[in-house]
Amino acid sequence: MVIIHAAAELADFLKKERLTRGLVGFVPTMGALHEGHASLMQQARRDTQVVVLSIFVNPKQFNENADFVNYPVTREADLELARNEGVDVVFLPDVSDVYEDSFQTESANYGDLTAVFEGGKRPGHFDGVVSVVRRLFKIVRPDLAFFGEKDLQQLAVIRQLSKIEFPRIQVIGCPLIRDEDGLAMSSRNVRISASDRGHALKLHSSLLDVLRCSKTQGDLHGAIDRNRDLLNEDEHIELEYFAAVNGKEFSILKGREVPEETFVIVAAVVGGVRLIDNCRLGCS
Ligand code: PAF
């Protein structure tokens, strides 16, 4: 496994690899890697010949400085995991390699998609995500890029970025991975205390309850309202949103019909840690 820090060196290295080996698969991350990230690397390993992993804690996508400062950094363990997953190249850029001289983001405006839910609750977040992914796509020039469905809205935003600016890059969404107790895997989970974990797990159980009620009673909207109330009643949970949406546009589902692309999405702060989760309606 090769480790490269400079953007120009990576571009040069990949030029040769592309010619001799084939498709380039790209897994962009902010490190603090877990099994969710490993599943992206495995998918990239299956689908492409050259697997590139980037680790860059992007300061511009944290709308709260405390979240940036407290973001876990586990560099040695990350490299070990990448090695075990058969990654070919790890790209570890500096801020100057990614943002060059300006350290500015460009505003990402894809209408409601970038304005609602995560866009509304985390001002500037998608500007930071899109700016860094755009820059990384330009450096790596992957054939396929892999993102987790846990960050479902981010995935939809990146699909839009790719459609408009990088039509040759295929964006692949990979399933959300959960811990054994059901908590959606996230780098921030290490910051949840044992006692708060029980509260955090209610996010998943609420999603499952909506799924069950929608399937067995056809009562999606009632189940959404009931579970939102239950989460709001728990004083350890600061609920930000709990809604059924179209997973491509993030418009709120209104009628009784439940199209295939419907997801229930949730975001909440539990014990000072912001968590998001989602569940596709109609999945088992
Ligand atoms: O999902 C993440 O880890 C980040 O948002 C990403 C896509 C690597 C951009 O910094």
Taking a C-beta distance cutoff of 8 angstroms, is the pair 244, 281 a contact? yes
Nearest atom in ligand 1 to 133's CA: 9
Distance from the alpha carbon of residue 29 to the mean position of ligand 1, in angstroms: 5
Dihedral angle sign, alpha carbons of residues 129, 267, 153, 34: positive
Return the structure tokens found at 195.
């006692």
Choose among 64, 48, 58: nearest CA to 14. Answer: 48
Cβ 264 vs Cβ 231: under 8 Å: no
Distance 16 CA to ligand 1 centre (A): 26
Q: CB within 8 A of 193, min separation 6: which ones?
A: 271
Which residue type is seen at 136?
Answer: L
Written as six digits, the tokens of 110 are 């894809």
Q: Which numbered atom of ligand 1 lies nearest the CA of 151?
A: 1
Q: Which domains does the chain have, with CATH numbers?
A: 2-174 (3.40.50.620), 187-275 (3.30.1300.10)
Centre a 10 Å sphere on the Cβ of residue 27 and count the other Cβ atoms it contains.
Answer: 31
Ligand 1 midpoint to CA 255 (Å): 33
CA 144 to chain centre: 16
Q: Is 37 a catalytic residue?
A: yes
Of 34, 37, 125, 204, catalytic = 37
Tokens of 80: 């070990």
Query: Within 6 Å (CB) of ligand 1, which residues are found?
Result: 28-30, 58, 61, 129, 132-133, 151, 154
Q: Is 93 helix (H, G, I), strand (E, B) or coil?
A: coil
Q: How far is the CA of 87 from the centre of ligand 1 (A)?
A: 18
pLDDT tens, N- to C-terminus, the chain (284 residues): 999 999 999 999 999 999 999 999 999 999 999 999 999 999 999 999 999 999 999 999 998 899 999 999 999 999 999 999 999 999 999 999 998 877 788 899 999 999 999 999 999 999 999 999 999 999 999 999 999 999 999 999 999 999 999 999 999 999 999 999 999 999 999 999 999 999 999 999 999 999 999 988 888 999 999 999 999 999 999 999 999 999 999 999 988 888 889 999 999 999 999 999 999 996 54
Q: Taking the CB of residue 233, how many other CB atoms lie within 10 A of it?
A: 9
* Three-class secondary structure of residue 103 per DSSP: coil
263 and 279 in contact (C-beta within 8 Å)? yes
CB 156 within 8 A of CB 164: no
pTM: 0.96
Q: Of all protein residues, whose CA lies closest to atom 3 belonging to ligand 1?
A: 29
Nearest atom in ligand 1 to 56's CA: 10
- Burial classification of residue 271, based on how many CB atoms lie within 10 Å of its CB (0-12 exposed, 13-18 middle, 19 or more buried): middle
- Tokens standing for residue 229: 């109330």
